[in-house]
Amino acid sequence: MRYDFVVIGAGVSGITSAITLAQNGYHVALVEKADRIAPLLRGFSRQGVHFDTGFHYTGGLGAGEPLDIFFRYLGLSEHLTSFSFDEDGFDIFNCENPGFEFKIPTGYAKLQERLGEAFPDERAAIGSYLSQVRATCNALPYLNLDMEIDQNSALQRVLGPTVREKLDSLTENVLLKSLLSTHCLLYGVSCDEVSFAQHASIVGNYYESVRGIRGGGLSLAQACDTRLSKLGVDVFCSSEVAGITVAPGGALSGVRFASGGSLACNAVIATVHPRILLELAPEGTFRPAYRKRLGALEETVSAFMCYAVSNRPIPSLAGANRFLLPDAGCLSDLGRRPIGDAPLYLSAAYRKDEIEPHGFIGICPTLFTETTSWESSRFGKRPEEYRRYKGQCLERMQIQIERAHPDLAGNIQYMEGSTPLTIRDFCNTPLGGLYGVKHMVGQYNPHPTTRIPGLFLAGQAVVSPGVMGAVLSGLLACGTILGHDIMRKELKACC
Ligand SMILES: Cc1cc2nc3c(=O)[nH]c(=O)nc-3n(C[C@H](O)[C@H](O)[C@H](O)COP(=O)(O)OP(=O)(O)OC[C@H]3O[C@@H](n4cnc5c(N)ncnc54)[C@H](O)[C@@H]3O)c2cc1C
Of residues 434, 59, 44, the one with CA closest to residue 212: 59
Tens digits of per-residue pLDDT, 463-489? 999 999 999 999 999 999 999 999 999
Tens digits of per-residue pLDDT, 293-330? 999 999 999 999 999 999 999 998 988 999 999 999 99
Whether 383 shows a pLDDT value over 70: the answer reads yes
Q: Exposed e or buried b for every residue in 126-141, given b needs 16+ CB within 10 A?
A: beebbebbeebbebbb
Q: Exposed e or buried b for every residue in 308-325, given b needs 16+ CB within 10 A?
A: bbbeebbebbebbbbbbb
Instruction: Give the pLDDT mean for 339-345.
Output: 97
For residues 7 and 268, is the Cβ–Cβ distance under 8 A?
yes
Among protein residues, the one with the nearest Cα to ligand 1's atom 28 is: 11
Kindly indicate the confidence band of residue 232, based on its pLDDT and cuts at 50, 70 and 90: very high
Torsions phi, psi for 285 (to 5 deg): -85, -30
Do the bridges between strand 455-457 and strand 100-104 make them parallel or antiparallel, or are there none, so unpaired?
Answer: unpaired
Tens digits of per-residue pLDDT, 210-228? 999 999 999 999 999 999 9
Ligand 1 center to 299 CA (angstroms): 14
Which pLDDT value is given to residue 248? 87
Label residue 28 exposed, middle or buried (CB < 10 Å: 0-12, 13-18, 19+): buried
The pTM for the full model equals 0.97
Which pLDDT value is given to residue 152? 66
470 within ligand 1 shell (Cβ under 6 A): yes
277 within ligand 1 shell (Cβ under 6 A): no
Label residue 97 exposed, middle or buried (CB < 10 Å: 0-12, 13-18, 19+): exposed
Ligand 1 pocket: which of 236, 272, 421, 422 to mutate (most atoms <8 Å of CB)? 272
Query: DSSP strand E in 435-494: where?
Result: 455-457
Whether 151 shows a pLDDT value over 70: the answer reads no
Tens digits of per-residue pLDDT, 359-376? 999 999 999 999 999 999
Q: Residues of the chain with pLDDT > 70: what percent?
A: 99
37 within ligand 1 shell (Cβ under 6 A): no
Among protein residues, the one with the nearest Cα to ligand 1's atom 35 is: 9
Whether 153 shows a pLDDT value over 70: the answer reads no
Ligand 1 center to 38 CA (angstroms): 7
* Cα–Cα dist 400/404, whole Å: 7
Give every CB contact of residue 344 below 8 A, 6+ residues apart in sequence.
Answer: 323, 324, 362, 363, 364, 397, 400, 401
Whether 379 shows a pLDDT value over 90: the answer reads no
Ligand 1 center to 128 CA (angstroms): 34
Instruction: Give the pLDDT mean for 239-264.
Output: 95
Instruction: Give the pLDDT mean for 120-127.
Output: 98
Whether 90 shows a pLDDT value over 80: the answer reads yes
218 within ligand 1 shell (Cβ under 6 A): no
Is the peptide bond prior to 141 cis by the omega test (within 30 degrees of 0)? no
Ligand 1 center to 186 CA (angstroms): 14
CA 95 from centroid of its chain's CA atoms: 24
Among protein residues, the one with the nearest Cα to ligand 1's atom 4 is: 54
40 within ligand 1 shell (Cβ under 6 A): yes
Instruction: Give the pLDDT mean for 395-406.
Output: 95
Whether 427 shows a pLDDT value over 90: the answer reads yes
17 within ligand 1 shell (Cβ under 6 A): no
34 within ligand 1 shell (Cβ under 6 A): yes
Structural domains present in the chain: 2-41+61-81+214-297+439-492 (3.50.50.60), 106-208 (1.10.405), 301-434 (no CATH)
Among protein residues, the one with the nearest Cα to ligand 1's atom 15 is: 466
Whether 358 shows a pLDDT value over 90: the answer reads yes
Among protein residues, the one with the nearest Cα to ligand 1's atom 31 is: 11
Ligand 1 center to 430 CA (angstroms): 13
Tens digits of per-residue pLDDT, 266-302? 999 999 999 999 999 999 999 999 999 999 999 999 9
Least confident of 133-137, 166-170, 246-250: 246-250
Kindly indicate the confidence band of residue 160, based on its pLDDT and cuts at 50, 70 and 90: confident
Which pLDDT value is given to residue 157? 83
Average pLDDT over the chain reads 96
The minimum-distance atom of ligand 1 relative to the CA of 303 is: 1
Ligand 1 center to 116 CA (angstroms): 37
* Cα–Cα dist 297/438, whole Å: 7
Ligand 1 center to 171 CA (angstroms): 36
